[in-house]
Amino acid sequence: VYNKNKPYITIHHTSTTKSRVLSKCDIRSSIYDNDTNIKSVKENFDRQTAQRLREYDERMKVKRQKRKAKHDKNIKEIILKDKMEKSLAEKIETGCLKCGCGLGGVAASVGLFGGLGTYGWKSVAMVEAAAKGVTKVIELVNSELGVLTLGSQPLETVLNVINYTDVSNISHLIYSEYKTACISISSATVHPEPICISVWEKSLAGLGGKFVPERDVIETTVRTIVLNAENTSGEALKGATEGVIKTSTAAIESTYASCQIAIIASVVALLIIALVMIIIYLVLRYRRKKKMNKKGQYTKLLNE
């Protein structure tokens, strides 16, 4: 009997509690390997784990596909938006440049810059001078060679402002006319054609009384005629140009004196419009560069 007053007397009890913790030796023992319930639990666990892993992989695959589709869609939207903005900016820039060119043309046409008007007047003067040259050639061909027609056509219809200085062509036509009218007759003919008389006289009078071929006579005479006509045309052009300059200067001075305020206002308005267009152009260029930089950064982030 245990006595509290005698602690040296101790009663020994054997513990009946058993540990339920599986040791490593117990796990590896063949008892669990051969246990049907344990095998069923392990197989069920492995099957559920594999199924969950497959479901996880499928979900991740779907998410990656959705993320990739969204990424591609965002890139396409960015590219399309950039193209639209770039096209709009280019159209506006082109419009600004066209407006500037149009304003320059209007300014020249209304007399702010008189170059176009002077050029037009000078062209008219050149045409008039060339017409005078044609008239001079016709007059000298008639008086020097006695020719009124070439190929049964009047000289006025054959010669014009384009070919009246073509010595070889005119000489060939006159020589053909001479052969038709004069080769078959002699100098003893009673009433020869005026062209025959003129050519014969010039042939006999050339080179100190020596005979000169008719073709050379005609070509030399035509060259002299064309030279005189060119001098006449040049003098006419010079006089017409001086007259045009005086007329245009007087017109510009009178217009400027009467419309000075309107011209100044127009010039100022054109300068303001040009300045505004330049500012718009620069702003559009700056915005486009900025958006291109943003697009590059955004694309870089999406790729990452």
| Domain range annotation of the chain | 115-258
What pLDDT score does 108 carry? Answer: 46
Global pTM reads: 0.42
- With a cut of 70, list the residues of the chain below it in pLDDT: 1-33, 88-122, 184-191, 205-211, 244, 248, 250-259, 298-299, 301-304
Beta-bridge partners for 150: 153
Report how far residue 96's alpha carbon sits from residue 102's, in angstroms, rounded to the nearest whole number.
10
Q: Please, which contacts does 262-265 make with residues 24 or more away whose CB atoms are closer than 8 Å?
A: 263/111, 263/112
Q: Please, which contacts does 188-193 make with residues 24 or more away whose CB atoms are closer than 8 Å?
A: 193/146
Selection from 129, 146, 134 nearest residue 221 by Cα? 146
Report how far residue 230's alpha carbon sits from residue 224's, in angstroms, rounded to the nearest whole number.
10
Residues 6+ apart with CB under 8 A from 165: 133, 226, 229, 230
> What is the average pLDDT value for the chain, to the nearest integer?
73
Angle subtended at Cα 109 by Cα 105 and Cα 113, rounded to the nearest 5 degrees: 85
Report how far residue 238's alpha carbon sits from residue 236's, in angstroms, rounded to the nearest whole number.
5
Report how far residue 77's alpha carbon sits from residue 125's, in angstroms, rounded to the nearest whole number.
63
Report how far residue 177's alpha carbon sits from residue 152's, in angstroms, rounded to the nearest whole number.
9
Selection from 275, 281, 278, 273 nearest residue 90 by Cα? 281
Q: What's the distance, CA 68 to chain centroid?
A: 41
**Exposure pattern of 199-236 as b/e (b: 16+ CB <10 Å)?**
bbebbeeeeeeeeeebeebbbebbeebbebbbebbeeb
What pLDDT score does 205 carry? Answer: 64
Report how far residue 205's alpha carbon sits from residue 200's, in angstroms, rounded to the nearest whole number.
9
pLDDT tens sequence across 39-51 = 888 888 999 999 9
